[in-house]
Structures are given as C-alpha cells and as structure tokens.
C-alpha cells in the first residue's frame, strides 16, 4: 500500500518524485489530486495512463504563489482581484496561455488556454513549493469513477498505479473546484464547485454566465456527460426509494445515509463523495438513490456531480 503520512520528510520525498518525472497523489481541500510536473509531458502522460483519462480532457495546474502565473498565463486586473479574494481556495480560472510554452500542450490538451488554481491545503502547497514547479492534478481516481476524499479512496481506485499517496486526512470541501472562464469579456461558469457562483458574481459586481460545455471537446475538467460515477446504477431527485436502492437522503428526506439532516449544503458537499463511496462499497443493494438537492449555492455543485454520476450511456 503506497500510503505515506504527510510528514515533512515524506512531502520532500514526494517532491523528489515529481522532479524525477513521477506521479504522486496528494490531498487538497477539494479532493485528492494525482499530480505531475506541469512542464514534463512524459510525466503528465503517466496521469492520463493511470486514470485511463482521454487526452482531450485538459488538466488543472496547481500553484503555490501567484508569481507562478507570469510564466505561462495572461493576467489582468480582474484575474488578480479574484486571486486575491479566493486564493488559496477552490476556484479554478481558465486563462489565455502564453503560446511559447510548448511543454504545456499535453496538460492543456492542446488548447490555447490554461486552467489554474491555488489549493487551500498545507500539504498541497508545501509539495508544490518543494517541487519548485506547477503541478497538474486531476482527481486521483480512475476516469469516470467517484472522486476520492481520503487516501484510502485513492488506494482503492488506483493502487499500484501511483507510487506514492500522501495522506493528509479527509478533504474539507469534498467536491472539486469551481471553474470559470476569463478569456473573454464575460465571465462564464464551466463547472460548479466549492465556491458558489453567486459569491463570484457578488464580488465582481457582474453576472456569471453558465455554460454546459461540450463533452466531446471539453475546455475544462468536469464537462464529460458521465463522470463521478459509482458502479451501481444511480437515480437522483428521489423521495421514495425502491427496495433495491441504497438511499442517500438530504434534510427531511432520510435514507441509509443523510448528506445533512439539517439541510446544510456545506455539510452535504463535504459528505457527498464519501457517502457515494460507502454506497458503492455495500453489497446489500444493487442500485443507488439520492434525494433532491436545492439548486442554489453549493447545491449547484452537488447537482452537477450527481447528474453526471447518474448519466446513462
């Protein structure tokens, strides 16, 4: 089992692996990431291979300092203001690339844009600093399966496909980052996530438009129609489960597990993937049902994940 406690010594060991062109799983405040040196295409290719992820699906670059941006992304006052307000934190910005950085082509799926964020987790930030490079990192699980919020989830999904998993405990936010496109005059939400779009709109004093994205030509992670999917058929917006369904409740609609009995969307977000893992691991029921979630605030991120989890090919 390649799980190591996130001690200073083990973080330094993980950084040496990153610098040597290897991949490492590490905790963030959202989910666990599978990281590689953003500038090393051979290392980035190992991420796609380990996850069985299509190479047309771009990766997010994780940084530990805003100064990292100047090497490969175009910024403006709006980008800097958002970074100052929401970084470190679960906000990813899609920015125009500086085209001369050809080594980023694989990480960016050949697009003229780069997706970047600064994670709000001490282990992630220390790993990036010690590696002395931006680290691209999708969720540390096989493609289309449930995202991992513990080191054990990573090990169960990837096992020996990753040489080292840094254990930083459970992820506090529990779903991936919010992704916004800042390459044009309008701000466009590409993926709902750990920061509600309403907070971004209020901070900037302008509306945030919503894009469903093109699942065949994604411009950011999280736009595939089927994603975050457990092995059992999943039904959403359920108030009355059938006898063969493991029920994940919310608020007054109870079940075998309840995302938040008090209807707290932040609590529900933090519990979502962990409860989906538990539903997948049980063997008494052959299907999963999930209660309705309000389509506001963090509920937008939850609904995005469970809609993709329940998608039928």
Q: What is the pLDDT of residue 143?
A: 86
- Digit-coded pLDDT (tens) for 118-131: 999 999 999 999 99
Residues across the chain: 313
Closest C-alpha among 61, 87, 56, 64 to residue 73: 61
- The domains found in the chain, sorted by start residue, are 3-210 (3.90.870.10), 233-309 (no CATH)
- Digit-coded pLDDT (tens) for 185-236: 999 999 999 999 999 999 999 999 987 666 655 566 665 556 677 899 999 9
Tokens of 199: 């907070």
- Digit-coded pLDDT (tens) for 81-94: 999 999 999 999 99
CB-based contacts of 221, cutoff 8 Å, min separation 6: 57, 58, 59, 60, 115, 138, 176, 179, 191
- Digit-coded pLDDT (tens) for 226-275: 667 789 999 999 999 999 999 999 999 999 999 999 999 999 999 999 99
pLDDT classification of 56: cutoffs 50, 70, 90:
confident
Pairing label, strands 208-210, 187-191: parallel
- Digit-coded pLDDT (tens) for 18-45: 999 999 999 999 999 999 999 999 999 9
CB 66, CB 118: distance < 8 Å: yes
Q: Which CA distances in Å does 38 have to 7, 18, 58?
A: 24, 10, 12
């Amino acid at each position: 089992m390649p799980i190591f406690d996130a001690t200073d010594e083990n973080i330094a060991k993980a950084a040496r692996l990153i610098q040597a062109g290897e991949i490492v799983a590490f905790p963030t405040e959202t989910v666990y990431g599978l990281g590689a040196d953003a500038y090393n295409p051979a290392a980035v290719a190992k991420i796609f291979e380990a996850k069985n992820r299509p190479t047309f699906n771009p990766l997010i670059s994780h940084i530990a300092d805003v100064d990292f941006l100047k090497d490969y992304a175009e910024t403006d006052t709006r980008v800097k203001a958002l970074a100052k307000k929401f970084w470190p934190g679960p906000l990813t910005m899609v920015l125009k690339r500086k085209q001369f950085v050809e080594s980023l082509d694989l990480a960016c799926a050949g697009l003229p844009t780069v997706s970047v964020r600064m994670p709000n987790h001490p282990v992630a930030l220390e790993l990036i600093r010690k590696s002395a490079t931006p680290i691209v990192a999708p969720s540390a699980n096989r493609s289309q399966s449930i995202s991992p919020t513990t080191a054990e989830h990573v090990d169960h999904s990837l096992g020996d496909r990753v040489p080292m998993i840094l254990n930083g405990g459970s992820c506090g936010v529990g779903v991936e980052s919010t992704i916004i496109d800042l390459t044009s005059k309008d701000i466009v939400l590409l993926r709902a996530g750990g920061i509600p779009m309403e907070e971004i709109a209020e901070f900037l004093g302008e509306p945030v438009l919503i894009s469903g994205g093109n699942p065949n030509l994604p411009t950011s992670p999280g736009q595939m129609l089927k994603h975050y999917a457990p092995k059992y058929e999943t039904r959403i917006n359920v108030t009355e489960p059938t006898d063969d369904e493991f029920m994940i409740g919310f608020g007054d609609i109870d079940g075998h597990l309840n995302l938040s009995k008090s209807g707290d969307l932040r609590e529900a977000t933090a519990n979502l993937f962990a409860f989906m893992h538990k539903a997948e691991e049980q063997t008494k029921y052959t299907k999963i049902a999930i209660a309705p979630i309000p389509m506001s605030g963090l509920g937008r991120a939850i609904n995005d994940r469970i809609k993709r989890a329940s998608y039928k090919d």
